[in-house]
């Protein structure tokens, strides 16, 4: 019977997404659909699924992996301090971090108010637990909705994502403190710091050796996956030992793994294992254990569902006024609805409440049903009210130091496409000649202070175009220290006794040499006569696009939506050139070398380079 129950659960996990795809049910999160399937097959419906020790163990592991992956979803770069004013002193719009902190502060206050109101009415008397429940946000559901709309790289998406991150971190820590204060056998709250110290120790211990793992890893060892589960089990064990909730250990393990900066393939493998096996079992068993007939027969429980649902939604309602300070009305409303979804942490919180006997089965069932309904309503209303705003792909900034017959025409041509260019020179004569032909600024000198004041190193690409090698070398050294993403230096001669050329190469500086470029072009013209036509053609061109959009990873070239508009001739992946075929799959951060119509490239670049 145990094996049969497991087979039924796994079959349900397999068929649920297939049926959703078949009937085009895109508005419902998969997690909610799996809970509904569990309700249908469990004790509320067909009674095909019964609770067994095996399913209970796999379900517990499922919630642990779910919380671990939630920790890995946190983008810590979003928490970095961002400028609030421009260089000219003009005030910038509120940053996503500022909006998120203000929004979640309102959520906490609203949750406390609604919890107090429920306690005053006698419907639910534990104010602390209700506050924690109402302030939770389903990070997984939010990320899925934002990815579908490709909003993760835009201010609205970043703001909603940060609100959801706070909606997992803060309630999780609050739950741990709550459990520690209310559990009779719990150890002192000071012991909770041990789990954070353990997380920091593990992070520092493996930060240096993780790159060694990558070098010696192979398909039969999968060291990255072994490390992930070692972190999970270690921190979960420490959490349980000090009286904290196991999900806090799992969440910290996910954060540690994220800070180790694993490869994209590592996160894909962990996500595949989690959402492919463990997590669906947890959601299906959650639904299977619900006793809806008994819940609906109880008038008090039936009354609780709408009150809890209103509280889940109402706790986030006021953030509309904060989002509206930067985003238009419809998108602020859409963000408010999406932030009201909650399910991920609700179920573990209810388990803690049941174990502490501060909540009964009827109340836990009402909370669960209300959370499920919020996950159905939230994404639907988000899709209904969200309206895309015309946001052009940010142009790459290119700064040239040195104005001459080579850099001026290049800057003019770049300004007509996907780049913004700015030229600088300290040569008064060249300034007089060229300043009317391009955006050119005259510098008094090339000292570090002058370059910093002119914000020359605040760019995506820096081109050092002087004919003097030594001058370009000095400027390149300063650019390296300023961590300019791409540096292109002109070196017209290479002396055998001079190591400047090799030194720049070792630091990733791209060297341009007219003589070598002419040789390469002439050879290409001999071997492939169409090269010059591609370069000179006003309608077609040769382009490079970097894949940043995860929506395209794993897709074969033949299945790309724009495959009929361009030809992908090469793929530059991990410092190697790949000759692609129709069945070649795209990876994240691939550099696609393509030829095609110049008019079609901006739209293709916008799709592929959108961070998602």
At 533-561, the pLDDT tens digits run 555 554 556 677 788 777 777 777 777 87
Cβ-based burial of 592 (10 A; exposed 0-12, middle 13-18, buried ≥19) = buried
What CA–CA distance (Å, rounded) separates 69 from 247?
11
What is the rounded average pLDDT of the residues 264-285?
85
Q: Are residues 340 and 408 in the same domain?
A: no
Q: Please state whether the predicted TM-score (pTM) of the whole model is above 0.85.
A: no
What band does 582 get if pLDDT is binned at 50, 70 and 90? confident
What pLDDT does residue 11 have?
A: 93
What CATH number does the domain containing 511 carry?
A: 3.40.50.720
- Taking CA atoms, 188 is separated from 13, 176, 180, 278, in Å, by 41, 12, 7, 33
In this structure, the strands spanning 591-597 and 540-546 are antiparallel
Q: How far apart (Å, rounded) are the C-alpha atoms in residues 69 and 266?
A: 12
DSSP H helices, 342-487, are 346-355, 361-385, 407-414, 428-434, 448-453, 469-481
245 with 324, same domain: the answer is yes
For 421-434, what is the mean pLDDT?
Answer: 83
Structure tokens at 203: 């992070």
The encoded tokens of residue 415 equal 């300004």
Strands (E), 507-562: 510-512, 540-546
Query: Looking at the structure, do residues 23 and 60 belong to the same domain, yes or no?
Result: yes
CA atoms in the 13 A half-sphere facing the CB of 312: 32
Q: What local confidence, expressed as pLDDT, does residue 155 receive?
A: 83
CA–CA separation, 9 vs 3, rounded Å? 10
Please report whether residue 332 resides in a domain.
yes
The mean-pLDDT minimum among 69-83, 291-305, 429-443 falls in: 69-83
The torsion of the CA quartet 222, 226, 227, 229, rounded to 10 degrees, works out to: 140
3-state secondary structure of 524: helix
Residue 542: the pLDDT is 67
Spatial distance between the Cα atoms of 338 and 269, rounded to a whole number of angstroms:
28
Q: Which of 448, 441, 372 is nearest to 401 (CA)?
A: 441
Is 70 exceeded by the pLDDT of residue 528? no
Contacts of 399 (CB under 8 A, 6+ apart): 421, 422, 423, 424, 456, 457, 459, 461, 462, 463
Average pLDDT, the chain: 81
Which residues constitute the domain of residue 406?
A: 396-518
213: number of CA atoms within 13 Å, CB side? 19
pLDDT tens sequence across 152-162:
777 888 889 88
More confident of the two residues 475 and 219: 475
Query: Taking 80 as the threshold, does the pLDDT of residue 514 lie above it?
Result: no
Residue 472 confidence class, pLDDT cut points 50, 70, 90: confident
Asked whether residue 490 is domain-assigned, the answer is yes
Residue 70 clears pLDDT 60, i.e. is over it? yes
Over 60: is that where the pLDDT of 187 sits? no
Backbone angles phi, psi at 399, to 5 degrees: -110, 130
CA distance linking residue 304 with residue 320, whole number of Å: 26
552 to 502, 577, 589: CA distances (angstroms): 37, 19, 11
- Given 365, 385, 405, the domain boundary residue is 385
Angle at 587 between CA 584 and CA 593, to 5 degrees: 70
Highest-confidence segment of 112-121, 206-215, 482-491, 575-584 = 112-121
List the structure tokens of 26: 């895109």
Task: Tell me, yes or no, whether 474 and 513 share the same domain.
Answer: yes
Which are the contacts of 336, defined by CB distance < 8 A and separation ≥ 6? 316, 317, 319, 320, 323
> What is d(CA 203, CA 201) in angstroms, rounded to the nearest whole number?
5
Q: Is 171 found in the same domain as 308?
A: yes
Band (pLDDT 50/70/90 cuts) for residue 591 is: confident
Residue 552 belongs to a domain: yes
Q: What CATH number is attached to the domain comprising 598?
A: 3.30.70.1450
* Tokens representing residue 139 in the block: 């990070």
Q: Report the pLDDT value the prediction gives residue 598, as an integer from 0 to 100.
A: 67
Given 354, 385, 416, the domain boundary residue is 385
380 plus 502 within the same structural domain: no
306 and 410 in a common domain: no
Considering the domain architecture, whether residues 306 and 211 belong to the same structural domain is answered as yes
390 located within any domain: no
pLDDT tops 60 at residue 259:
yes
Q: How confident is the model at residue 392, as a pLDDT?
A: 43
Residues comprising the chain, all counted? 612
Among the residue ranges 159-163, 425-429, 510-514, 575-579, the one predicted with the least confidence is 575-579
Q: Would you say residue 280 lies in a domain?
A: yes
* Secondary structure of 238-271 as H, E, C letters: HHHHCCCCHHHHHHHHHHHHHHCCCCHHHHHHHH
Range ranked top by mean pLDDT from 123-137, 205-219, 496-510, 564-578: 123-137
Is residue 573 in some structural domain?
yes
Q: Are residues 429 and 409 in the same domain?
A: yes
The per-residue DSSP string of 25-81 comes to: --SS-HHHHHHHHHHHHSTTTT------HHHHHHHHHHHHHHHHHHHHT--GGGGS-
Domain count across the chain:
3
In the predicted structure, residue 185 carries a pLDDT above the cut 70: no
Q: Among 410, 503, 420, which Cα is nearest to 465's? A: 410
- Together in a domain, 276 and 412: no
Pull the structure tokens for residue 47. Answer: 């009674």
In this structure, are 297 and 443 located in the same domain? no
Show which of 467, 498, 518 is a domain's final residue: 518
pLDDT digits (tens, 9 = 90+) for 199-249: 888 877 777 666 666 666 666 667 778 888 888 888 888 887 776 667 788
Distance CA 233, CA 156 (A): 36
Give whole-number Cα distances, 338 to 323, 333, 550, in Å: 12, 9, 21
In this structure, the answer to whether residues 472 and 586 fall within a common structural domain is: no
Higher pLDDT, 234 or 575: 234
In a domain, 391, yes or no: no
Mean pLDDT is highest, among 21-25, 115-119, 241-245, 448-452, for 115-119
Q: What percent of the chain has pLDDT over 70?
A: 86
Contacts of 375 (CB under 8 A, 6+ apart): 29, 31, 32, 138, 141, 341, 342, 343
The CATH number of whichever domain residue 181 belongs to comes to 1.20.1530.20
Q: Which of 343, 259, 341, 255 is nearest to 70 (CA)?
A: 255
Average pLDDT over residues 390-399: 66
In a domain, 540, yes or no: yes
Alpha-carbon dihedral sign for residues 373, 376, 381, 386? positive
Give the separation between CA 536 and CA 493, rounded to whole angstroms.
Answer: 28
CB–CB of 395/418 below 8 Å?
Answer: yes
Please, are residues 278 and 65 in contact by the beta-carbon 8 Å criterion? yes
Q: What pLDDT sits at residue 310?
A: 93
């Amino acid at each position: 019977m145990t094996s049969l129950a497991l087979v039924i659960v796994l079959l349900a996990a397999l068929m649920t997404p297939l049926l959703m795809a078949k009937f085009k049910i895109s508005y419902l999160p998969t997690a909610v659909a799996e809970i509904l399937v569990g309700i249908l097959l469990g004790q509320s419906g067909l009674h095909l699924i019964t609770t067994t020790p095996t399913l209970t163990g796999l379900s517990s592991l499922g919630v642990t992996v779910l919380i671990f992956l939630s920790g890995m979803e946190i983008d810590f770069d979003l928490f970095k301090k961002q400028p609030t004013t421009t260089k000219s002193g003009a005030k910038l719009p509120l940053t996503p971090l500022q909006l998120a902190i203000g929004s979640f502060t309102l959520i906490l206050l609203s949750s406390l108010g609604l919890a107090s109101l429920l306690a005053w009415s006698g419907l639910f008397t534990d104010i602390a637990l209700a506050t924690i429940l109402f302030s939770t946000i389903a990070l997984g559901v939010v990320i899925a909705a934002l990815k579908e709309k490709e909003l993760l790289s835009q201010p609205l998406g970043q703001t909603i994502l940060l609100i959801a991150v706070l909606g997992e971190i803060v309630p999780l820590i609050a739950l741990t403190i709550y459990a520690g204060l209310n559990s009779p056998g719990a150890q002192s709250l000071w012991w909770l710091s041990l789990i954070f110290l353990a997380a920091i120790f593990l992070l520092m211990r493996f930060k240096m050796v993780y790159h060694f793992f990558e070098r010696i890893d192979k398909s039969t060892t999968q060291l990255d996956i072994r490390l992930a589960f070692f972190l999970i089990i270690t921190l979960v064990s420490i959490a349980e030992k000090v009286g904290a909730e196991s999900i806090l250990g799992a969440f910290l393990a996910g954060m540690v793994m994220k800070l180790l900066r694993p490869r994209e393939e590592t996160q894909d493998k962990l996500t595949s294992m989690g959402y492919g096996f463990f997590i669906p079992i947890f959601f299906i068993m959650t639904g299977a254990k619900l006793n809806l007939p008994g819940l609906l027969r109880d008038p008090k429980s039936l009354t609780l569902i709408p009150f809890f649902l209103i509280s889940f939604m109402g706790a986030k309602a006021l953030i509309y006024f904060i989002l509206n300070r930067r985003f238009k009305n419809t998108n602020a409303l859409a963000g408010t609805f999406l932030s009201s979804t909650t399910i991920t942490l609700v179920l573990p919180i209810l388990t803690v409440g049941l174990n502490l006997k501060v909540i009964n089965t009827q109340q836990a069932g009402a909370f669960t049903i209300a959370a499920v309904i919020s996950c159905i309503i939230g994404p639907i209303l988000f899709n209904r009210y969200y309206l895309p705003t015309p946001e052009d792909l940010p142009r790459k900034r290119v700064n040239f130091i040195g104005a001459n017959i080579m850099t001026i025409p290049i800057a003019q041509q770049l300004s007509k496409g996907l780049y913004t260019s700015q030229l600088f020179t300290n040569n008064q004569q060249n300034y007089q000649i060229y300043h009317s032909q391009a955006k050119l600024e005259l510098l008094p000198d090339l000292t570090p202070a002058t370059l910093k004041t002119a914000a020359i190193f605040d760019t995506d690409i820096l081109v050092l175009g002087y004919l003097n090698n030594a001058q370009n070398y000095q400027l390149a050294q300063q650019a390296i220290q300023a961590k300019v993403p791409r540096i292109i230096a002109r070196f017209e001669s290479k002396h055998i006794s001079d190591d400047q050329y090799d030194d720049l190469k070792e630091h990733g500086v791209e060297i341009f040499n007219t003589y070598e470029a002419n040789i390469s072009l002439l050879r290409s013209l001999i071997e492939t006569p169409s090269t010059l036509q591609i370069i000179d053609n006003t309608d077609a061109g040769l382009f490079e696009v970097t894949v940043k959009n995860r929506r395209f990873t794993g897709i074969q070239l033949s299945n790309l939506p724009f495959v009929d508009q361009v030809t992908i001739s090469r793929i530059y992946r991990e410092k190697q050139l790949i000759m692609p075929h129709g069945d070649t799959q795209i990876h994240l951060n691939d550099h696609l070398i393509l030829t095609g119509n110049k008019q079609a490239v901006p739209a293709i670049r916008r799709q592929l380079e959108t961070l998602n």
